[in-house]
Structure 1
Amino acid sequence: MAGNRELPLDLLIVAGFILITNIFVLVPVLSGSFLRTCLGIFLVLFLPGYALAGAIFPAKKDLEGIERAAISFGLSIAVVPILGLSLNHSTWGIREVPVLIEFSVFILLMCVVAYYRRRLLPEAEAFRVSFKTYFSSVKAKILEKPESKTDKIIVFILVFSILASMGSLAYIIGNPKEGEHFTEFYILGKNRTTEDYPTEFVQGEKGTVIVGIVNHEYRPVDYTMEVRLENRYLPLPESQKQVSLGNNMSWEEPITFTPPFEGKNMKLEFLLFNETEKTVPYRNLHLWINVTEEA
């Protein structure tokens, strides 16, 4: 069998598209643009299925142009939940950068498989993209009279459904509905876990915890965090922190405190106030600590 040595144009375009999408997602000055959203939609809804279809159907005769486009959407819808589920059970979780890396690696890997399988075919039989021929084929499928009226209706419904799905998803992502308004407030131990908190002190000894705030209020908020022991303020600046956050912004810093008096089972409180209520804590957390007299 003759090997097709020339790198396929469609696979080069896919690789270039992945590179551009990564740039728009990872570069801060570009990550806020609407184009980033459009690129992300295409990366999720079309490219995984297109690359997989290329790996499964390397020959021209396997699929026609419009059929290859339609099955690319269908395979993407089938593959994306599997990729998401695998990432959800990994140590990275479903976050922006891990999702981007996983999708990019999967698509590029399928492109490599598709290229290898096309090389095994005679050059005349391997699938190649000629955009002029491709769009002429799509136009003929849609506008010219097919074998029957039923075929024409099916093709129209298929194309309309794909375009409607992409448009709806773009609108939803571009105009997200507001969810519940809330603020995350948490403390972590020295190893950044929900354990190993400092609870045993000698009077005058310092303790450190990591305090985090995440704003999901759909508006900028000015927070005030106070630290109290047995409802008494700790010495400034340990006892108070001012934090201003925009929507979906987060703040996390180590907070060091020094219990000023001894006692057992004392309540060390971390109180979070928002800009609208200065007397009643909006969120509160606490630790129970023991402070003994210095030997």
Structure 2
Amino acid sequence: MHPDGRDSPVLHTLYFSFIVNRPFPDLVAVLAWLACAVASIYIPVINETPLRVILALPLVLFIPGYALIAALFPGQEELDLIERIALSFGLSIAVVPLIGLGLNYTPWGIRLDPIVISLSVFTLAMTMIAQWRRAVTDPEERYRFPSREIIAGVSEEFFPREGSRTDKILSIILLISIVAAIGTTIFVIVFPKEGEKFTEFYILGAKRKAADYPDRMTIGEEYPMYIGIGNHEYRNISYTVEIHHMNMETDITGNFSYITRMEISDRFSVQVPNNETVILPYNLSAKDEGFNRIEFLLFNESVPDMSIRGMERINQSYRDLHLWVKIRG
């Protein structure tokens, strides 16, 4: 209420849009799909089933664009159903990358939670604006989703009242073919063919970039960096990371190098889910002046015994990285 006793214009608008005019069925369906998609992403049992992909895919490819089109064009004569559907796909494909681009410049980054929250807020806001704009549009001109006309048209197309028996049989075969094609498409999306299996293993500098690696180290000082592991093995894996200090010498002929000393300085395990990347902060430190190389070894499920050392241990690792350093006392 205003101080003078009058109703707030905002409250009056909300009352008029959502109480006097009940929510429109297609907008209710958008919000219901949004709620189901978010639930399928975060509910522990459901998020491991194909239902997550089936519900979340339209949230990226169709729902945001449909809500935006509904907010921009509340009238019946502005766009027909086919145009709305086509523009919904197109605008979704345009809006979602823009939201991701904006998240890239925020502290949250492009991760699952910020993306889900951003898409949910955008869709909810556009749906409320669409509800309000339709409510203030003349009832004879506002857009209404032609659900009854679609059902009647499909029924008449596939099950005509007038027609020969052959036409009815062909219509049934066509309907079965369409359902089979849709089911095949969903199956391919939910259960994609496994591609090449690999693991990303990399180290980043203090600014989380592939630069500014420490090459001169002082004993007792810590040098911040990051260790990244990307799992693309189509299964959850518990990796083991080892950091070794080494001293390598080159043969007088220059044809080969050999390890004169190798000591492990750190070892830890990291659980990385399938198709996810973990970036861990790590403080690198020097042990003594007898080393000139820092070796990073990554092992998957099989980790060799500590009795295996030197080049043999490096060769048995799943991935390996190294830094050449000069250590000062």
- The Cα shift of 1:182 comes to 1.0
Quote the offset at 1:60 in angstroms.
4.1
The amino acid across from 2:234 in the alignment is Y
Please list the CA deviations of residues 175-226 of structure 1 after superposition, one character each: whole Å capped at 9, or x if unmatched: 1111221111122334444344444333343444332322212245454432
Matched residue of 2:230: which SS?
Answer: strand
Residue 142 of structure 1, CA deviation: 5.3
Distance in 2 separating the partners of 1:36 and 1:49: 20
Deviations 1:259-294 (A, max 9, x none): 232269x2212122344685313322222322222x
Shift of 1:256: 4.2
Distance change in 2, residues 1:169/1:102 (3 Å): farther
Partner of 2:326: 290
Give, in whole Å, the separation in 1 of the partners of 2:229 and 2:217.
Answer: 26
Mapped partners of 2:65, 2:273: distance in 1: 37
Q: Residue type of the partner of 1:270?
A: F
The Cα of 1:53 is off from its aligned counterpart by 4.2
Quick one: structure 1 residues 136 and 61, their matched pair in 2 at CA, closer, same or farther if it must change by over 3 Å? farther
Q: 1:98 Cα shift?
A: 4.3
Structure-2 residue corresponding to 1:225: 241
1:269 aligns with 2:285: no
- In structure 2, C-alpha distance between the alignment counterparts of 1:207 and 1:52, rounded to whole Å: 48
Indicate which of 24, 29, 35 corresponds to 1:8: 24
Amino acid at match of 2:194: E
Relative to structure 1, is the Cα distance of residues 286 and 141 closer, same or farther in structure 2, using a 3 angstrom cutoff?
Answer: same
Picking from 125, 130, 147, the partner of 1:114 is 130
Q: Which amino acid aligns with 2:275?
A: N
Cα shift readout 1:58-96 (whole Å, capped 9, x = no counterpart): 344556xxx62x444422331233124424544437654
Give the number of equivalent residue pairs. 275
Is the CA contact 1:272–1:282 (under 8 Å) kept in the aligned structure 2? yes
For structure 2, list consecutive stretches of 5 or more residues without a partner in the other structure.
1-15, 163-171, 248-260, 305-312
In 2: Cα distance, 1:76 partner to 1:118 partner: 18
- Note closer, same or farther for the CA distance 1:198–1:130 as it changes in structure 2 (3 Å cut): same
Structure whose alpha-carbon radius of gyration is higher: 2
Does the Cα contact within 8 Å between 2:27 and 2:127 map onto a contact in 1? yes
Bigger RCO of structures 1 and 2 (CA < 8 A, at least 6 apart): 1
What CA distance in whole angstroms lies between the structure 2 residues aligned with 1:57 and 1:91?
A: 28
Q: Matched residue of 2:225: which SS?
A: strand
Q: Is the 8 A contact 2:221 2:285 kept in 1?
A: yes
Q: Which residue pairs with 1:75 in the alignment?
A: 87
CA RMSD of aligned residues (A): 3.9
For structure 1, the residue ranges without an aligned partner over 5 or more in a row are 147-155
Superposed counterparts of 1:1-295, under 5 Å = 5-6=20-21, 7-60=23-76, 68=81, 70-87=82-99, 89-92=101-104, 95-129=111-145, 135-136=151-152, 138-140=154-156, 143-144=159-160, 166-221=182-237, 223-231=239-247, 232-234=261-263, 238-243=265-270, 245=272, 247-248=274-275, 250-262=277-289, 266-275=292-301, 278=304, 279=313, 280=315, 281-293=317-329
